[in-house]
Amino acid sequence: MSESSGPIAAPAADAGNPLLAAWTTPFETPPFAEIRPEHFMPAFEQAFADHAGEIAAIVNDPTEPDFDNTVTALERSGKLLNRVAAVFYDLVSAHSSPELLKIDEEVSLRMARHWNPIMMNAVLFGRIAALRDKAARLNLTPEQSRLLERSYTRFHRAGAGLDEASKARMAAINERLAQLGTSFSHHLLGDEQEWMMELGEGDTEGLPDSFVAAARAAAEERGLPGKAVVTLSRSSVEPFLKMSSRRDLREKVYRAFIARGDNGNDNDNNAIIGEILSLREESAKLLGYPTFAAYRLEDSMAKTPEAVRGLLERVWKPARARALADRDALQELVTEEGSNFKLAPWDWRYYAEKLRQRRANFDDAAIKPYLTLDGMIAAAFDTATRLFGITFQERKDVPVWHPDVRVWEVKDADGAHRGLFYGDYYARPSKRSGAWMTSLRDQQKLDSAVAPLIINVCNFAKGAGGEPSLLSPDDARTLFHEFGHGLHGMLSDVTYPSLSGTSVFTDFVELPSQLYEHWQEQPQVLRQFARHYQTGEPLPDDLLQRFIAARKFGQGFATVEFVSSALLDLEFHTQPAASIGEVRAFERKELDKIGMPEEIALRHRPTQFGHIFSGDHYASGYYSYMWSEVMDADAFGAFEEAGDIFAPDVAKRLRDDIYSSGGSRDPEEAYVAFRGRKPEPDALLRRRGLLDTPEAA
């Protein structure tokens, strides 16, 4: 049941398989250099067998259920499975190969077949339910009470209370959904790997040297030394659309980017989406819910689709109004230049950058030389040290899965070891797009203190020829965002594995990450760590002030592209699956319904919306980023009200109530404990500069 694993003894069988042997590496970390694709299936087989035996022992225990022989026993089970799976999924996402992707297809099905009979086991569920019924008499700690309730909820929502026929159908659905989600992500990766655009003579007009250097590094990574290529990584596409003065090439890159998974080839995801939606709806109805969104949101802070729609529509109106006003201003710029074309989606970023330069006297190219990757890593670490007292020391002796991966040992203020932090920052063909946090081992102290192994993966452009990687302001914000997730894992201080770190509601999990973004844009942080990569000079004060003034520029566009995706996610999972029909037509119909400006694309079109279709973690839950933003905008206000962005008493509450407590508390209770009240909803609109829009009133 647990989602983490502590050190485990090596099984006697197959000591030649590094996944099944004791790890003698520093901090008992995975020996990546020794692990080969062929090791995984035997390791999974052993792990499945071990876990099944552990579950059988709980189910067949003749003694009366108590917390220790049922809930705690579940927490102790599955250590080997968690250990093998953590390594496997890290590699599949961050450094895949055709061999690993092939294994992933089999593992996803086997994993579903392994978990289905566990999560639907009537005897196991009966033991948990019996304990829940008499919880008040069990003298449990608050964390134990929370774990019991969450355990009951997980089994109940998995279908453990269904009749046998419904369980069989639910198991079949889960298996098929696992296969479909894996296929969706493989298709998306396939389309991203197969496309690139070479930049020839004259194709670099408007592109700064830093972008061209990154394009050369991307070409070299793909075995094309001396060339320069644009790839379908967001970190390549968005700067190109912003800076390239070649409108024809912008259109070519844009169309390729939004067509991922929608090309009618072997990587097409349209049919997969239809089947996923039908199966999710069927599973929700088996459990007694009218829609998948109703099922999914019941176990969240939002609780209902209506609450989600209310938040999104509250933000949509002022954001759309701001975006439409910006669109008119961008069209005027096109006309001013003597062009007579109508503004198109591939023009927006390019002309928005021109408008920002005019209105705020600021452009990304001016600040980028000051935002080196190393400088922003140092800024993220220093912020954590000043807030929470933890320190970071780079380690060269810890095995990694790719030479670019770096590792730091994290220590508490008293010098005690807290965990390891892995940073995998550069884009490469073997890595899926996006940025994420995950773990190789989660914190717990059930039987002994287990220190976490936390990972941040990003897709920043690598500098060429020994030049450092230079980040855009968005890249720097992404680094802080993922590091905020990382801190949620590193600072976790709970007893039970299932409640560790980021094991919280989806619409709460983005609070620690989005809150941490605030420090990246603080003057005292930038003055110290934003230094020119060639001269070492600090960020000039006038440029700093212009950057701060420009932060709210373009929020209409950014909010529209996000909220439209979140609303589409909600519609996919509230409308009858049979009525959706052709995905592209449904997308168009829903965007017309909300008045989506045709010059702005969804942040994630359906066929590339991995958040909701590569698995179900964010299905009906993409809104979570905005739900959490209501809290993070309000939460940072606690530091502003204290007059110190590193106020020790506020930072202590932040650590104790938010970052350290994992899933051991109800999230609303945790937030109120930190802030002293519920969040103020208008904080989000205020942060995005949308409160002064008429529709916000």
Q: Which amino acid is at 348?
A: W
Per DSSP bridges, beta strands 453-460 and 436-441 are antiparallel
Cα 139 off chain centre by: 37
Beta-carbon contacts of 495 under 8 Å, excluding residues fewer than 6 positions away, are 143, 444, 445, 446
Q: Are 636 and 518 in contact (CB under 8 A)?
A: yes
Q: Is 105 annotated as catalytic? A: no
Token reading at 523: 């003057």
Which pLDDT band holds residue 683 (cuts at 50, 70, 90)? confident
Nearest Cα to 179, choosing from 112, 109, 116? 109
The residue to which tokens 């006038």 are assigned? 542
Question: What does the CA dihedral 26, 30, 31, 32 come to, rounded to 10 degrees?
Answer: -130
Q: Which amino acid is at 489?
A: G
Q: What is the pLDDT of residue 364?
A: 85
Q: What is the pLDDT of residue 552?
A: 84
Integer Cα distance of 519 and 16 in angstroms? 47
Token reading at 72: 């705690």
Q: What is the pLDDT of residue 360?
A: 86
Q: What's the residue count for the chain?
A: 697
Integer Cα distance of 98 and 88 in angstroms? 14
- Angle between helices 305-336 and 624-642 in degrees, nearest 10: 80
Q: What is the pLDDT of residue 7?
A: 39
* pLDDT at 187 exceeding the cut of 80: yes
Angle at 511 between CA 509 and CA 514, to 5 degrees: 115
Q: What does the pLDDT look like over 624-676, one tens digit per residue?
A: 999 999 999 999 999 999 999 999 999 999 999 999 999 999 999 999 999 99
> Rounded to the nearest 5°, which phi and psi values hold at 444?
-165, 165
Give the Å distances, CA to CA, from 55 to 81, 131, 295.
13, 17, 27
If you write DSSP's letter for every residue of 332-351 in order, what string do you get?
Answer: HHHHHTT--PPP-HHHHHHH
Token reading at 585: 């037509």
The residue to which tokens 């770096």 are assigned? 406
Integer Cα distance of 225 and 439 in angstroms? 34
Q: What is the pLDDT of residue 5?
A: 39
CB atoms within 10 A of CB 317: 18
Cα 481 off chain centre by: 9
Q: What does the pLDDT look like over 71-111, one tens digit per residue?
A: 999 999 999 999 999 999 999 999 999 999 999 999 999 99
Which pLDDT band holds residue 693 (cuts at 50, 70, 90)? low
Integer Cα distance of 528 and 376 in angstroms? 10
Q: Are 4 and 439 in contact (CB under 8 A)?
A: yes
Q: What does the pLDDT look like over 439-481, one tens digit per residue?
A: 999 999 999 999 999 999 999 999 877 889 999 999 999 999 9
Lowest mean pLDDT among 202-216, 489-503, 650-664: 202-216
Mean pLDDT (whole number) for 558-585: 97
Q: What is the pLDDT of residue 8?
A: 39
* pLDDT at 697 exceeding the cut of 60: no
* pLDDT at 396 exceeding the cut of 50: yes
Q: What is the CA radius of gyration of the chain?
A: 25
Per DSSP bridges, beta strands 417-426 and 391-395 are unpaired
Beta-carbon contacts of 186 under 8 Å, excluding residues fewer than 6 positions away, are 101, 104, 105, 267
Q: What does the pLDDT look like over 504-557, one tens digit per residue?
A: 999 999 999 999 999 999 999 999 999 999 999 999 999 999 998 888 899 999
Q: What is the pLDDT of residue 4?
A: 39
Q: What is this structure's pTM?
A: 0.92
Q: Is the dihedral of CA 460, 464, 468, 472 positive or negative?
A: negative
Q: What does the pLDDT look like over 350-387, one tens digit per residue?
A: 999 999 999 888 888 889 999 999 999 999 999 999 99
Q: What is the pLDDT of residue 442?
A: 98
Per annotation, catalytic residue among 482, 561, 587, 590: 482
What percentage of the chain reaches a pLDDT higher than 90? 91
Beta-carbon contacts of 379 under 8 Å, excluding residues fewer than 6 positions away, are 480, 519, 520, 525, 526, 528, 529, 530
Q: What is the pLDDT of residue 551?
A: 85
How high is the mean pLDDT of the chain?
94
Which helix (DSSP H) or strand (DSSP E) does residue 406 occupy?
Answer: strand 406-411
Beta-carbon contacts of 4 under 8 Å, excluding residues fewer than 6 positions away, are 82, 439, 441, 442, 443, 444, 450, 452, 497, 500
Q: Which amino acid is at 117?
A: P
- In the three-class reduction of DSSP (H, G, I as helix; E, B as strand; rest coil), residue 362 is classed as coil
Token reading at 45: 């087989």
> Rounded to the nearest 5°, which phi and psi values hold at 5?
-145, 140
Q: What is the pLDDT of residue 694?
A: 54
Angle at 134 between CA 130 and CA 138, to 5 degrees: 115
> Rounded to the nearest 5°, which phi and psi values hold at 453?
-120, 105
Which pLDDT band holds residue 603 (cuts at 50, 70, 90)? very high
Cα 93 off chain centre by: 12
* pLDDT at 12 exceeding the cut of 80: no
Q: Which amino acid is at 328?
A: D
Integer Cα distance of 30 and 88 in angstroms? 11
* pLDDT at 121 exceeding the cut of 70: yes
Q: Are 241 and 599 in contact (CB under 8 A)?
A: no
